[in-house]
């Protein structure tokens, strides 16, 4: 009888031990899985931020080059190239720009971006010269902004700038537009900001717009002008960055 009792105790205790072992293993597996998922999520976030940072740095490079060149407006092009150790080319490496854009000299990103299946440089710095080979205007263009949609940045509505007077600080006007400038045009008497944006009309259609906002050299708002664009328009069109108004 004692032997039978011993067997019963032994048999009843074995499943309990096995059950505990299985639960422990399952819990450990779940914990490891959660840790793995957390690590993968953190890695994904880091990668996304790294990509954003790289894009910003490459974009800022072009903008800084344009700002630096703009400090030499009215100066001979050749002497500026030597001072800034910058080689300005007569033609772009991209056929679309040579056919559709107007410039005398160009400095462009080595990296490209596809817009509506057409290859563009990520950004360009173009120069318009005077007849005496002096820098008349410097134009920075950020083609990265059209990568997601060639019609421009999507806005909820058309920006209303009628309430701004000439004494308004340009930063206030730019903040009201709530978009990044597609093009910045530096000249001797003003700075122009050109925006490419689109918004939904009452009938559901999407309208693309080119908006130019002009500031004086003290950073005060002067005027704005806009034009509705064709659906797949990308390069310059009146009012262009080179129009003297």
* Structural domain count, the chain: 2
3-class secondary-structure state, position 231: coil
**Residues 93 and 63 both lie in one domain:** yes
**Residues 135 and 178 both lie in one domain:** no
**Residues 93 and 40 both lie in one domain:** yes
**Residues 89 and 34 both lie in one domain:** yes
| Residue that terminates a domain, selected from 104, 127, 143 | 143
DSSP per residue, 98-148: HHH---SEEEE-SSEEEETTEEEESEEEEEEE-TTSBEEEEEEEEGGGGSS
Per-residue pLDDT of the chain in tens (245 residues, 90 and over written 9): 444 444 444 444 555 544 444 455 556 666 677 777 777 777 666 665 555 444 555 558 999 999 999 999 999 999 999 899 889 999 999 999 999 899 999 999 999 999 989 999 999 999 999 999 999 999 999 999 999 999 999 999 999 999 999 889 999 999 999 999 999 999 999 999 999 999 999 999 999 999 999 999 999 999 999 999 876 566 554 444 444 44
Which conformational region is residue 100 in: left (phi greater than 0), alpha (psi within -120 to 50 degrees), or beta? Answer: alpha
CB 62 within 8 A of CB 197: no
**Residues 233 and 138 both lie in one domain:** no
| CA 149 to centroid of chain Cα atoms | 12
Residue numbers of the domain that contains 116: 1-143
CA neighbours within 13 Å on the CB side: how many for 110? 1
**Residues 239 and 156 both lie in one domain:** yes
Q: What is the pTM of this model?
A: 0.71
**Residues 101 and 5 both lie in one domain:** yes
**Residues 66 and 10 both lie in one domain:** yes
**Residues 68 and 82 both lie in one domain:** yes
């Amino acid at each position: 009888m004692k032997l039978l009792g011993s067997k019963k105790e032994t048999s009843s205790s074995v499943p309990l031990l096995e059950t505990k072992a299985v639960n422990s293993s399952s819990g450990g597996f779940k914990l490891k899985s959660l840790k793995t998922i957390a690590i993968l999520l953190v890695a994904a976030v880091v990668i996304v931020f790294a990509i954003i940072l790289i894009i910003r740095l490459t974009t800022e490079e072009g903008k800084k080059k344009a700002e630096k060149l703009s400090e030499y407006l009215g100066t001979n092009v050749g002497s500026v190239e030597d001072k800034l150790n910058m080689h300005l080319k007569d033609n772009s490496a991209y056929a679309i720009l040579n056919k559709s854009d107007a410039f005398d000299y160009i400095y462009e990103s080595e990296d490209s971006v596809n817009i509506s299946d057409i290859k563009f440089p990520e950004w360009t710095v173009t120069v318009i010269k005077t007849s005496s080979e002096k820098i008349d205007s410097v134009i920075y263009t950020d083609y990265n902004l059209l990568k997601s949609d060639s019609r421009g940045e999507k806005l909820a509505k058309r920006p209303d700038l009628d309430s701004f007077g000439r004494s308004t600080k340009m930063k206030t006007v730019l903040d009201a537009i709530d978009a990044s400038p597609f093009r910045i045009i530096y000249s001797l008497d003003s700075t122009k900001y050109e925006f490419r944006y689109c918004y939904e009309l009452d009938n559901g259609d999407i309208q693309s717009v080119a908006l130019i906002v002009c500031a004086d050299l003290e950073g005060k708002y002067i005027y704005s002008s806009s034009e509705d664009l064709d659906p797949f328009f990308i390069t310059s069109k009146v009012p262009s960055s080179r129009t003297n108004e």
